Structure 1
Amino acid sequence: MNIERYLTEHHQGTPGQIFRLLRQGRVKVNDRLIDSPRETVDTSDQVTVDGLAVTGRRPQYLVFNKPVGVQTDLTPVVPHSLGSMLNALDQQQSLQILADLPRTIAGLTLVTDDNTFLTEVQGQTWPSTLRVQLTGTTPLTLPQNIAAEVVEQRPDQVHQWTMLTLQTTALDSVTAWLESLSRVSGAINRIGWGPIKLSPDLAVGTYRGLFPQEIDALLTPATTSSLEK
């Protein structure tokens, strides 16, 4: 069979990912660099990706719904950390943080054991989508020195609060500004990072694997937005 089919059957990624593995010179057959998806292999060949034998184990791409107070430490024995939330199998992998959050912020955090993917995606400068509850129904006006865009302000006249959703590529400064507001009445949640959205059915304190289309979307170059101008 050809190398593309071989890598697909051994769970090395989507067709787009496998094409990138070959293009980036990360695939070898019997220590020979392979860059063509049409190269043929058989069961006696030694196939490696990034120097590791292809065994059928999938690379890990995980999305967490991080609770407030949980630190982004992937060491399993550290209490109140992402590592303590991993199952026994995932605890054995060499995972790294892809989208970090401070302890005081909840929501979407990504981790992976694919170092090249990590480097590629971090270079995209994807914006974070934040959601926070404010007291009162008066619309919030962003100061000119805040690098963020309001996505939605949804007032609730019954409960006298406003649900604010905004986007920013300056996560630290914008969350610090939000935390300084007297109107903030709940946790600041990151509900999106670039093309990845936090699904409502992913409970706080749990995680899941990224879907193939989500992985490909993260590797698609981001278009320039007003946040980046």
Structure 2
Amino acid sequence: MRIDQYLTDFHQGTRRQVFRLLRQGRVTVNQTAIDSPLTSVTEQDDVRVDGRPVTGRQPSYLVFNKPVGVQLNLDATVPHSLGGLLNALDREQALKVFSDLPKEATGLVIVSDDDQFLQDVASQDWLSTLRVRLTGVVSELPALDNDLTFEQVDLMPNKIHQVTTVLARTRDLAVGVPTLANLQGADRPVSRVAFGPLRLPVDLSVSSYRGLYPDEIDNLAGPLVDEDELLKND
């Protein structure tokens, strides 16, 4: 059996993730690093990813809808922490939080036990999309006109309900979140509703989380330079 199919069958990731594992030198067969998806293996071979047998490696990729006031700590014993939202099974994983969404903000947070995945996501330098609601109908925000913290700001006034939704894209959450929270008329906490290609699931209630879907994982990690080779081998 081809190594890429073998790893897929053992739930080591999507086809693109498996290809990435091989290209990053994270797969060994009988203590030898393997980088070609065409390599043949059998059940008698010692196949490992990151030094762990494939039968003992089931990586986790999660997206949270973090409540306001909750800090990004995965220790369930810490009050008002992300770890307190985990179920008993997920608490046993060596999970890590990606990004630095301040506790004053709510919304999308990514968590995984795959260190290389988190590094791949970080290397993409994705923008965060922040949302805040203002009371009243607003057509312009002079306070943000010359603010280089944001790469794009969109205003969506609602005359019926007399409110305006502000969507702002930034990489600087430490500055972006308080800047939006302090806008005149802000009546709710700032929320991160998207991170790069990943949008906060509309059906994911506050304080809940779910696993990332395969296409979400692939999109967040970004393409590989030689990804076309994988497509040719399909």
TM-score normalized with structure 2 length:
0.90
Structure 1 counterpart of 2:171, one-letter code: T
Partner of 1:70: 70
Equivalent of 2:198 in 191, 196, 199 = 196
For 2:13 and 2:31, the matched residues in 1 are separated by 21
Q: CA deviation at 1:99?
A: 2.4
CA offsets 1:160-198 (integer angstroms, 9 cap, x no match): 211111111122111121122232111111000000000
Alignment-derived partner of residue 174 in structure 1: 176
* Cα distance in structure 2, aligned partners of 1:61 and 1:117: 9
Residue identity in the other structure for 1:162: T
Equivalent residue pairs, number: 221
The whole-number CA distance in structure 2 between the counterparts of 1:202 and 1:54 is: 31
SS of 2:174's equivalent? helix
Structure having the larger proportion of residues in helix: 2
Give the counterpart letter for 2:204 in structure 1: L
| Cα pair 1:10 1:56 within 8 Å, conserved | no
CA RMSD, 1 decimal: 1.5
* Residue range with higher mean Cα deviation, 114-123 or 144-153: 144-153
Separation of aligned partners in 2, 1:165 and 1:145: 14
What letter matches 2:110 in structure 1?
L
For 1:198 and 1:112, the matched residues in 2 are separated by: 16
Residue 57 of structure 1, CA deviation: 4.5
Q: Report the CA distance between 1:100 and its aligned residue.
A: 2.5
Alignment of 1:114-153 (within 5 A): 114-141=114-141, 142-153=144-155
Name the counterpart of 1:163: 165
SS of corresponding position for 1:55? helix
CA distance in 1, matches of 2:36, 2:138: 59
Q: CA deviation at 1:98?
A: 1.3
Q: Percent of aligned pairs with the same residue?
A: 50
Residues 83 and 91 in structure 2, CA contact (< 8 A), matched pair in contact too: yes
Q: Deviations over 1:26-58 (max 9, x none)?
A: 001111111111111111211110111111643
> In structure 2, what residue type is equivalent to 1:13?
G
* CA shift for structure 1 position 138: 2.1
Contact 2:49 2:57 in 1 (8 A): no
Q: Is the 8 A contact 1:21 1:27 kept in 2?
A: yes
Q: In structure 2, what is the equivalent of residue 225 of structure 1?
A: none
* Residue 79 (structure 1) aligns with: 79
Residue in structure 2 matched with residue 49 of structure 1 by the alignment: 49
1:218 corresponds to 2:197: no
CA distance in 2, matches of 1:197, 1:97: 17
Q: 1:227 maps to what in 2?
A: none
Q: Could you report, residue by residue, the CA deviation over 1:64-89 in whole angstroms, capped at 9, with x for unpaired residues?
A: 00000111101122222111111111
Q: Which segment drifts farther, 61-70 or 146-155?
A: 146-155
Normalising to structure 1: TM-score of the pair? 0.91
CA contact (8 A) 2:120 2:222 kept: no
- Aligned partner letter, 2:205: A
